[in-house]
Structure 1
Amino acid sequence: MAAALQPDRFRFLHIDLNSFFASVEQQIHPEYRGRPLGVVPTMADTTCCIAASYEAKHFGVKTGTRVSDAKKLCPGIILIEGSHTEYAKYSHAVKEAVEQACHVTSIPSIDETVCELIGREQEPPNARKIALEIKQSIYKNVGEAIRCSIGMAPNRYLAKVASDMQKPDGLIGLLPSQLPRAIAHLELRDLPGVGARTEIRLNKKGITTMEQLLALDRNGMHQLWDSVWGDRLYHWLRGIDVGDNGAPPTSDIQKTLGHSHVLAPEFRSTTGAWSVAHKLLHKAAMRLRMEKFHTTTLSFNIRFALTREQVARATKSRRHNSGIEHASWGMEARFAACNDTLTLLEALQGIWKQCPKGPDQQKPFFLAITLHNLIPDDELQQTLFAEPGNRNELSATMDKLNLKYGHTTLHFGGMLPARESAPTRIAFTQIPVQYGVDYM
C-alpha cells in the first residue's frame, strides 16, 4: 500500500511529559519555578542528574550530566534528591487526567502515555481537539508546572517520533500525505530504537542522514537491519500500519524482579553494603509475595570503586555512568521454590560469604539483587513436606504490618543501619505499584 493512498487520519496520540521529574519538583515547590533545577538519585558530586528543568537545559545540563559538571555549567543550579513516591503519584494523576479526555491505551513508561483514536476521533480536527483537551486536563487536574508534548500520527512509532519534535508543550501531527518528507530533516538518533551503537553501525554501512535512510526501498531497509525490523521501520516511517504499530515487544510472563542501588558515601563499606543489600532483598521479597510469585534463583551483583592506581594495574575495569571506574563481581544461588524472606536471606548470606574481600574490593558503591525464574503462585507444585519453621507465616505477618505502617516497620536486624537508605528509585520504564502506604 502506498502511503499517499492512506486516508489522512491520526490513529495514535503519544503524550510525553516534559522534564517530568524536574517539573514535578517545580509543581511541589513553586519557589523553584523558572529556576535551573536538577534531580539526582543521591546527593553526591559523583552521581548524575536523572532529570533537568528546561532552565537548567539552557546551560547544557541534561539527563546523564555528572553533578560536578552540572555545577560548573550552571553554578546556580538547584539540586533535589528525587522522590519516586511523588513521581509515581503524579504519573497516576496524569493518567487519570488523560482519561477524562481520551481512553488511555498503554503507559510505556512513567512519563509517557499512549491513546488510540477510533472512528471520527481520527479526523485531524477532532484529534487536535482531543490533544488540546488532554493538555488542558493535565494543567487543570495535575498542575500548571506539568507540561507535555503530544505527537499525532497514523501509527504508534511515528506518534512517539512526533512527540519529540517540539518541546516543551508541543503538538505535532504527521499525516500520511506528509510522509516521509515531514521527517527528512530529523537526525538518525531521533528515531526510537536508534541509539549510539546503532548509529555507528548505520554509519559504517554508509547511512549517515535521514535522507539516505528514507531513500532505501523495503529490501534495502531489510538488508540494512538484517532483520524484519527493517521491513517494519520502512512501513512505519511512511505512516503505514503493520499491526504492532511500533509498540515494544512484550511478554505476558514476568521473568525477573529485583532492585538496585547506588550507595550513598556513608554506606560505601563492607558493613554498609551488606545492610543495604539486606534492605534490597527485604523489598524484593515483599514485592514477590505481593505480585504472587515464587522464585528459584537469586543473583547478586556488586561494583567496587577503584583508585587510579588500582585501575592502572587492573586487568579489567569499567566506567559507571557516574564516571566511577570500577570492578564488578556477581554470583547466583539456586534453591527450591520459595517466596519467604528468611529463605531468600539465607541464599543472599551464602553469596555474601563468597564475595571477594581483597584490596580492590574495599569500596563498594553499587548493588543489584534480582530474583529469576518466577513461578506464579497458582502454577506452583505443592510439596509433600511441610514448610520448615513457619517461614511463610512469619513473612505473612511481616507483610500485614508493613503494608499498614510502611514497608520498613518490621524487618530482620541486618538491615537496621540502612533502614532509611535505598529508597524506591526512579525507573523510567516501570511505574511503581502502591502496596499499602508505600510505592515499590
Structure 2
Amino acid sequence: MSSADPFASDRRTSAADDRFSFLHVDLNSFFASVEQQIHPEYRNRPLAVVPTFADTTVAIAASYEAKALGIKTGTRVGDMKKICPEIIMVQGDHTTYAEYSHRIHAAVERVCPVAHIPSIDEVTCQLMGREREPPNARRISLDIKQAIYDDVGDTMRCSIGMAPNRYLAKIASDMQKPDGLIGLLPSQLPRALTHLELRDLPGVGAKTEQMLIKKGITTMPQLLELDREGMHKLWNSVWGDRLYHWLRGHDTGDDGAPLPNEMQKSLGHSHVLGPDHRSPQGSWAIAHKLLHKAAMRLRMEKMCTGSLGVTIRYQLSRQEAEGRSKVRQHQSGIKHDAWGMEARFPTCQDTLSLLETLQKVWAQQPTGPEYQRPFFVGVTLGRLIPESEQQPTLFADADNRGALSRTLDKLNLKYGHTTLHFAGMLPARDSAPTRIAFTQIPVQYGVDYM
C-alpha cells in the first residue's frame, strides 16, 4: 500500500477541469416497468416478470412495489407467493422489451447522441464542449428523462449518472434509484466512492469479491489506498491499472469501456425446460429448436462454425442427491448433475450438417435413472470464422444443403423463425422463446428478435 494520501487528487483538479464527460442512463426495473406501461391495471402493484410460471423458476425482474416487500431478481416463484400471495406474475416477452429498448434509444438520441449501448436497459452518451459543464450536463440529463417520459411512457423511469468516464458514470447511475440523478466530479474523487461496497463496482462479482477478501481488501477505503502498482499486483493484470485510473476520474483513452473484444468466438442459446419438456424426448426437441435458432443467427451474421457444444443439466431426486459427495444446485434450488460435450468438424453453416452433429453428440450423453430428468439444455456454436474465409471443398454440395438453409431463412425471416423447420423440433416449436437479454441488445432478423 502507498503511504501517500489516496485522496490527493481531490485537491489537484482545477475548476476548468471539473466537468462531466459521460452520462449513463439506466432504466429502473425495466422489464417490470414495460409491463406496467402496457397494462395500466398493473401499476402501483407488486409485479414480477418470470421465464415460466413453475414454482422452481425465479424472477428476472420485479417492480418497485415488489422490491419493497423483499422480492427481487433471483427470488423463487414459490417464495414470492409466500411473501405476497397477490403478486402479479407475467411471463417475459423478449420481443416487446427489445422494441421498448429501441424506442428508448430513439428518445435519448433526440436529446443527446448515443455513444454506447451496454445492455438492453442501459444507454451511454458522451458529452462534448460546453455540454460537459455541470449545469449543462444536468439539464441534458433532465431532458433525457423527459424525452423518455414523453416518447416511451410515464412508467419508464431512469437513473442517470454523470462522471468523467464511462466506468464512473455507471457507478453513479446505481447510487440513487429509482429516478435518480447523481454526478461524480473529478474534484470529488476518489473520496466520493468510499461509502460504496466492493460489489458496487462493475466487474466485481461474488468470486472477485472473495478474491479481494482473501488478499486483505474488504472495504472501498482499503482498495482506494492502493497506488497503481498495488492495484496491478492485486488483480495481477492491466485491469488493476485501468481501475486505479478510472476510480480517480482519469482519461485512459478507453473512457472506462470494457477491453475491446476480438471477433466473436461463439454464439448459442440455452433454456430451462418447462415441466412438460423435462424428459429425454422433450429435451431433444428443445435442443433441436435451440440449434435451429443458432444456425439461423450464424448465417445472418455471415459466419461459419467449426464446433458444436452441448450442455445438459439433470434434476436429481433427494435420494440421488444425498448419495453424492458433491452436488450442484441451480439458482432455482434444483439439485442436479451436469454433462457436456463438444464436437469439432470442418467449418460449415448449414442447419442439416449441424443437426447431424447434434444427433451424434446427443447420443453420447450418460444413461441411467438419474439422467432421465433433464431440466436445462444449452447449445453453443464455436470456432467461428467469417464466411468469406471459408475454405472451398473438393466436393460439391451434393445435397444442396446450403440452398436448403437459405430457403429456410428466406421464409422464416418473412413469417417468423419457426415457420419452416425440421420435424424434430415440432414438439418444441412454441417453446424455448428467445430469452430476455440483460447484457446484449437483441438483434432483429426479419420479424423476430433473437
Aligned counterpart in structure 2 of residue 5 of structure 1, from 4, 7, 13: 13
Match of 2:108 among 98, 101, 107: 98
Q: Deviations along 1:95-135, whole A, 9 cap, x unmatched?
A: 11110011111111111111111111111111111111111
Q: Matches of 1:200 and 1:286 in 2, distance apart?
A: 40
User: Cα distance, 1:14 vs. partner?
Assistant: 0.5
In structure 1, the partner of 2:76 is 66
- Which portions of structure 1, spanning 4 or more consecutive aligned residues, are displaced by more than 3 angstroms? none
| Paired position in structure 2 for 1:230 | 240
User: What is the 5 A alignment of 1:25-424?
Assistant: 25-424=35-434
**Structure 1 gap ranges (5+):** none
**Distance (whole Å) between structure 1 residues aligned to residue 278 and residue 75 of structure 2:** 22
Aligned residue for 1:106, secondary structure, equals strand
3-state SS of paired residue (1:16): strand
- For residues 22 and 348 of structure 1, what CA distance do their matches in structure 2 show? 36
User: Residue 279 of structure 1: CA displacement?
Assistant: 0.6
Query: Equivalents in 2 of 1:171, 1:353: separation in Å?
Result: 55
Question: 1:316 touches 1:327 (CA, 8 Å); kept in 2?
Answer: no
* CA displacement at 1:313 relative to structure 2: 1.5
Q: Distance in 2 between the 1:333 and 1:205 partners?
A: 39
- 8 Å Cα contact 1:270-1:363 kept in structure 2: yes
Q: TM-score, normalised by structure 1?
A: 0.97
In structure 1, the residue corresponding to 2:333 is in which secondary structure? coil
- Deviates further, 152-161 or 182-191: 182-191
Q: Between the two proteins, what is the percent identity of the paired residues? A: 70
Partner SS state of residue 114, structure 2: coil
Contact 1:37–1:79 (Cα < 8 Å) also in 2: yes
- Structure 1 residue 315: Cα displacement: 4.8
SS at the partner of 2:113?
coil
The residue type equivalent to 2:117 in the other structure is I
Q: Residue by residue, what CA displacement relative to the aligned partner does 1:203-231 show, whole Å, maximum 9, x if unpaired? A: 23332222222223333323332332222
* Stretch moving more, 145-154 or 230-239: 230-239
* CA distance in 2 between partners of 1:402 and 1:316 (Å): 44
Is the CA contact 2:195–2:220 (under 8 Å) kept in the aligned structure 1?
A: yes
Supply the AA of the counterpart residue of 1:17. Answer: L
Amino acid at match of 1:290: M
For residues 50-72 of structure 1, the C-alpha deviation after alignment (integer angstroms, 9 at most, x for no partner) is: 11111000011111111111222
Distance 1:410 1:388 in 2: 22
User: CA separation in 2, counterparts of 1:226 and 1:292?
Assistant: 37
Tell me, yes or no, if the aligned pair for 1:13 and 1:117 is still in contact at 8 Å: yes
Work out whether residues 9 and 187 of structure 2, in 8 Å CA contact, stay in contact via their aligned partners in 1.
Answer: no
Indicate the SS of the match to 2:331. Answer: coil
CA distance in 1, matches of 2:435, 2:67: 22
Instruction: Normalising by structure 2, report the TM-score.
Output: 0.95
- Where 2:32 maps in the other structure, the secondary structure is helix
The one-letter amino acid of 1:212's match is Q
CA contact (8 A) 1:155 1:241 kept: yes
- Residues in 2 aligned to 1:205 and 1:296: alpha-carbon distance in whole angstroms: 41
CA contact (8 A) 2:24 2:173 kept: yes
SS in 1 for 2:162: strand
SS at match of 1:389: coil
Deviation at 1:396, TM superposition (A): 1.0
Contact 1:189 1:195 in 2 (8 A): yes
RMSD after superposition: 1.3
Which residue is 2:5 aligned to? none
Letter aligned with residue 139 of structure 1: Y
**Which runs of 5 or more residues in structure 2 are unaligned?**
1-7
Paired AA for residue 295 in structure 1: T
Q: Which amino acid aligns with 2:102?
A: H
- Aligned-residue offset at 1:29: 0.8
Q: Compute the displacement of 1:187 (Å).
A: 1.4
CA contact (8 A) 2:305 2:347 kept: yes
- 1:132 is paired with a residue whose SS is helix
The answer on whether the counterparts of 1:278 and 1:414 sit within 8 Å (CA) in structure 2 is yes
Counterpart CA distance in 1 for 2:384 and 2:225 is: 45
Q: 1:20 aligns to what?
A: 30
1:202 shift after superposition: 2.0
Whether contact under 8 Å (1:236, 1:242) holds in the other structure is yes
Task: Give the match's secondary structure for 1:169.
Answer: coil
Match of 2:4 in 1: none
> Residues 157-182 of structure 1: CA distance to partner in whole angstroms, max 9, x if unpaired?
11000000000010000001111222
Q: Distance in 1 between matches of 2:148 and 2:174?
A: 18
Give me the whole-angstrom Cα distance separating, in 1, the residues matched to 2:340 and 2:326.
15
Q: Give the AA of the match of 2:46.
A: P
Note the alpha carbon deviations across 1:328-351, whole angstroms, 9 max, x for none: 111112222211111111000111
Q: How many residues align?
A: 440
Q: Which amino acid in structure 2 is aligned with residue 5 of structure 1?
A: T
Between the aligned partners of 2:403 and 2:123, the Cα distance in structure 1 is 40
